[in-house]
Amino acid sequence: MPSAVADDAIPGEGLNNGLLWAVAWKQTAAEYRALCYQAYNLARMRLDDALQRHKVSDRPLAIITDMDNTMLHVGSYWGYLINENKDFFDDAIWDEWLPNNLVTAVPGSREFFDYCRENEVDVFYVTSRNQGERTYEYALAQLKYLEVPFADEDHLFVFRESSDKTPARDKIAEDFDVVVLLGDNLNDYKRDFYVKDVDERLALMERDRADWGTKFILLPNPTDGNWVRAIFGESEPPPTDENRRKLKAAATRLAWDGR
């Protein structure tokens, strides 16, 4: 039988780090890459459908995409956290890491955005970040570093003071017919999803189930996002023992009792 000490153990440093599995999966799993390709292949199918229906007199077509973990792969940041025995997102390290342009393209993203450009479909990049006065500069530099299409000020929206991307979506929709929205977080699609309760968030997702794979295309991200906020009440919870217990409780919502 497991000891009482083992039963009460709290994930933390070293091999007990709760981020290890998630980061290892994003770094190595063929399944992760396959899911990314699947998402962008599906986006291309939706775009092809829209192009076939599109008439010269219609409004121009557009794609809206989130940046981090949707089209920017930020794996070296998470690898650094693991090496530093961090088991929660660290905002100070993130702010230090971001300006170094250590991003790579999420599998399938570059090819899809190139396809958009070839078919005269605009791509808009929408992100919520805050690294001070140079936040916009850093975000634009990353797009230019990856040499993706539409890496310019006309196609980049950056929100420093809020994670609500609704103003950008509404502004783009004034002039364009938005085919799909790409993201790794439900908040990338609607502000409705920005809630602090796991079950409420699940219910809202179910309400819009017809939009998944049609209007909303979701990339996999097991390391961060507003699903974290639903568990802890904040998107970047501090690495406390109390929060580690909350994480364990979330992971054992469904658990065999061994009998």
- Tell me the pLDDT tens digit for each residue of 232-255: 999 899 999 999 999 999 999 999
Task: Quote the domain boundaries for residue 177.
Answer: 59-240
Number of domains in the chain: 1
Per-residue pLDDT, averaged over 210-235, amounts to 95
| Residue 35 CB partners (closer than 8 Å, separation 6+) | 219, 220
Three-state DSSP class for 149?
A: coil
| Residue 132 CB partners (closer than 8 Å, separation 6+) | 95
| DSSP per residue, 53-107 | H--TTSPPEEEEE--BTTTEE-HHHHHHHHHTT--S--HHHHHHHGGG---EEPT
**pTM assigned to the model:** 0.92
Per-residue pLDDT, averaged over 207-217, amounts to 98
6 falls within a domain: no
17 falls within a domain: no
Model pLDDT, residue 7: 44
139 falls within a domain: yes
Task: Answer whether residue 4 shows pLDDT above 70.
Answer: no
**Mean of the per-residue pLDDT values of the chain:** 93
Q: Give per-residue pLDDT as tens, 64-103.
A: 999 999 999 999 999 999 999 999 999 999 999 999 989 9
46 falls within a domain: no
Burial class (CB in 10 A: 0-12, 13-18, 19+), 38: middle
Per-residue pLDDT, averaged over 139-157, amounts to 98
3 falls within a domain: no
Percent of the chain with pLDDT over 90: 90
Three-state DSSP class for 128?
A: strand
145 falls within a domain: yes
Three-state DSSP class for 127?
A: strand
Task: List the Cα angle 231/232/234 in 5-degree steps.
Answer: 120
**pLDDT band at 258; cut points 50, 70, 90:** confident
Q: Which of 88, 83, 63 is nearest to 10 (CA)?
A: 88
Task: Answer whether residue 182 shows pLDDT above 80.
Answer: yes
Q: Give per-residue pLDDT as tens, 6-51.
A: 444 444 455 568 899 999 999 999 999 999 999 999 999 999 999 9
Model pLDDT, residue 9: 47
Q: Which of 196, 239, 234 is nearest to 10 (CA)?
A: 239
218 falls within a domain: yes
**pLDDT band at 1; cut points 50, 70, 90:** very low
Model pLDDT, residue 17: 81
94 falls within a domain: yes
Model pLDDT, residue 15: 53
Q: Which long-range contacts (CB under 8 A, 24 or more apart) does 190-193 make?
A: 190/166, 191/164, 191/165, 191/166, 193/226
Q: How many CB atoms lie within 10 A of CB 17?
A: 18
The CATH number of the domain holding residue 177 is 3.40.50.1000
Lookup: tokens for 67:
């940046």
Sheet holding 122-128: strands in order across? Answer: 156-159, 122-128, 61-65, 177-183, 216-218
Model pLDDT, residue 257: 87
